[in-house]
């Protein structure tokens, strides 16, 4: 099938490359000309495991191309995916100016039947607005359908998630739209959930809000564990083995971040309010997440007392492992809080340093974990990279000024660390 994907970021590039891999012909479009130029030259604007190879192979096989020309892309494709960003406005509302702009551009360039599919995460009712916008600006009487096909991939394992999703959600309002998307997804073995557009839009917001709720729930439980000397890892296991609850997303830590959960939660609260429902539960989820940073700060203060002029080594900048994405990263937030308190920060991340240089000032970016430790008054684990799980503690202890580790991701066994002579604090677990 002939497909255009408008917006070549984490979702657009993975969608385009995977659909090309399945035998479709795909054009990935972006209005950032520099990005398109570098993609054409074979360099990746983002780090996502396996993506460079997948893109390279499909470009060589002439299944995948890049363009900054939306006119060509609309003319070429039968199915057009919209994968532009939908960031949060100051008041929490989703900023849909990118979606509206793309809808207008599609309308102006339509040259025959098109199926326009929202893949970006958008609030319920956006499909109606996309349809209305295209109808308003359409240049001739070309027929079109709008559909919703939310994306559930996770950065760091995006290709596998796209190729083997737990489910494919298709929100449609015509048989033709349904048939086209079912045909496109025929190679997949996953169950397909077919709904109307509004339900599909809500499935995405509700799913992300639910996952964020699980994280905040276990973080709240961790705070209680901390106070009574229980172990949140044991509690999470005991809860999660109940099939109705499940083990995933019950990992206590420094809180959720990234480009999706915080903004999608805000957007869901906002759209609910707009249509007359006060989503108090989600407001609390957000509050608990924000409080988690103060919880970690208190742990650092409990061990260092005064933060001013202390050298703090931080491992991790990305909002989670296996990505270079630092959008709403709790690691970055913590660094900023510590800097405000007067700390001097040394930091290392396997992939995210390049992006972090644009948002952090007066930080020593180090080449590896051990340079971070050199002369630091404590070591803070902020992202759960596998590389950090293999620390040589004898070396770390020699390099640190004081043998203090604050483990914001519960990577290590408290007993082992205390036995090795560290002052060790983690989230919702006794020190030893």
Ligand X SMILES: NC(=O)c1ccc[n+]([C@@H]2O[C@H](COP(=O)([O-])OP(=O)(O)OC[C@H]3O[C@@H](n4cnc5c(N)ncnc54)[C@H](O)[C@@H]3O)[C@@H](O)[C@H]2O)c1
Chain contacts with ligand X (rule: CB under 6 A): 6-12, 29-32, 35, 83-86, 98, 101-102, 120-121, 151, 153, 155, 259-260
Nearer to ligand X, 58 or 121 (CB): 121
What's the gap between Cα 92 and its chain centre? 17
- Catalytic site residue from 225, 260, 366, 378: 260
260 catalytic, yes or no? yes
Give the C-alpha separation, 132 to 252, whole Å: 44
- Whether the CB-CB separation of 405 and 412 falls below 8 Å is answered with yes
What is the closest distance, in whole angstroms, from the C-beta atom of residue 83 to ligand X in the complex?
5
What is the closest distance, in whole angstroms, from the C-beta atom of residue 307 to ligand X in the complex?
33
In sequence order, the β-bridge partners of residue 311 are: 344
Nearer to ligand X, 155 or 333 (CB): 155
- Whether the CB-CB separation of 8 and 46 falls below 8 Å is answered with no
The conformation of residue 166, written as its DSSP 8-state character, comes to: S
Give helix 126-137 / helix 97-109 axis angle, nearest 10°.
40
Nearer to ligand X, 156 or 350 (CB): 156
Spatial CB neighbours of 413, under 8 Å, sequence gap ≥ 6: none
What is the closest distance, in whole angstroms, from the C-beta atom of residue 342 to ligand X in the complex?
34
Nearer to ligand X, 80 or 378 (CB): 80
Give the C-alpha separation, 51 to 142, whole Å: 36
Work out the number of other CB atoms within 10 angstroms of the CB of residue 1: 15
Rg of the chain taking only CA atoms, in angstroms: 23
Shortest Cβ contact with ligand X: which residue?
Answer: 9
Spatial CB neighbours of 54, under 8 Å, sequence gap ≥ 6: 17, 18, 21, 159
What is the closest distance, in whole angstroms, from the C-beta atom of residue 253 to ligand X in the complex?
18
CA-angle at 290, arms to 284 and 293, nearest 5°: 145
What's the gap between Cα 270 and its chain centre? 20
DSSP-assigned letters across all residues of 299-349: HHHHHHS--TT-EEEEE--SSSTT----TT-HHHHHHHHHHHTT-EEEEE-
Nearer to ligand X, 257 or 428 (CB): 257
Nearer to ligand X, 11 or 54 (CB): 11
- Residues that are catalytic: 260
């Amino acid at each position: 099938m002939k497909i255009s994907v408008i917006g070549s970021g984490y979702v657009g590039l993975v969608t385009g490359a995977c659909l090309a891999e399945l035998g479709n012909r795909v054009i990935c479009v972006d209005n950032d000309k520099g990005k398109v130029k570098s993609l054409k030259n074979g360099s990746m604007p983002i780090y996502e495991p396996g993506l460079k190879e997948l893109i390279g192979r499909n470009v060589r096989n002439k299944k995948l191309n890049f363009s900054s020309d939306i006119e060509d892309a609309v003319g070429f494709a039968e199915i057009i995916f919209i994968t532009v960003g939908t960031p949060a406005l100051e008041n929490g509302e989703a900023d849909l100016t990118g979606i509206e702009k793309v809808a207008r551009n599609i309308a102006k360039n339509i040259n025959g039947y098109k199926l326009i599919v929202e893949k970006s995460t958008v609030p319920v009712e956006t499909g109606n607005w996309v349809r209305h916008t295209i109808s308003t600006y359409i240049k001739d009487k070309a027929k079109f359908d709008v559909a919703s096909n939310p994306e559930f991939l996770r950065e760091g394992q995006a290709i596998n998630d796209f190729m083997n999703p737990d489910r494919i959600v298709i929100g449609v309002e015509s048989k033709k739209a349904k048939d086209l998307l079912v045909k496109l997804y025929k190679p997949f073995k996953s169950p397909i959930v077919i709904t109307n557009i509004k339900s599909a839009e809500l499935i995405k917001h509700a799913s992300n809000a639910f996952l964020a709720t699980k994280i905040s729930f276990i973080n709240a439980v961790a705070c209680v564990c901390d106070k009574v000397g229980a172990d949140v890892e044991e509690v999470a296991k005991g809860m999660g083995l109940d099939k109705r609850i499940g083990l995933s997303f019950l990992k206590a830590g420094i809180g959720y971040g990234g480009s999706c959960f915080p903004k999608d939660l805000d957007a869901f609260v906002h759209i609910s309010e707009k249509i007359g429902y006060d989503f108090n539960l989600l407001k609390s989820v957000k509050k608990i997440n924000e409080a988690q940073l103060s919880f970690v700060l208190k742990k650092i203060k409990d061990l260092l007392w005064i933060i001013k002029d202390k050298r703090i080594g931080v491992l991790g900048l990305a909002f989670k492992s296996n990505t270079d994405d630092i959008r709403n990263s709790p690691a970055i937030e913590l660094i900023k809080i510590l800097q405000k308190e007067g700390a001097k920060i040394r930091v290392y991340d396997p992939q995210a340093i390049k992006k972090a240089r644009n948002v952090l000032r007066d930080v020593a970016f180090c080449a590896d974990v051990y340079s971070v430790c050199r002369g630091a008054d404590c070591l803070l684990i902020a992202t759960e990279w596998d590389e950090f799980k293999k620390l040589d503690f004898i070396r770390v202890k020699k390099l640190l000024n004081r043998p203090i580790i604050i483990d914001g991701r519960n990577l290590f066994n408290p007993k082992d660390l205390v036995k090795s002579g560290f002052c060790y604090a983690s989230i919702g677990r006794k020190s030893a």
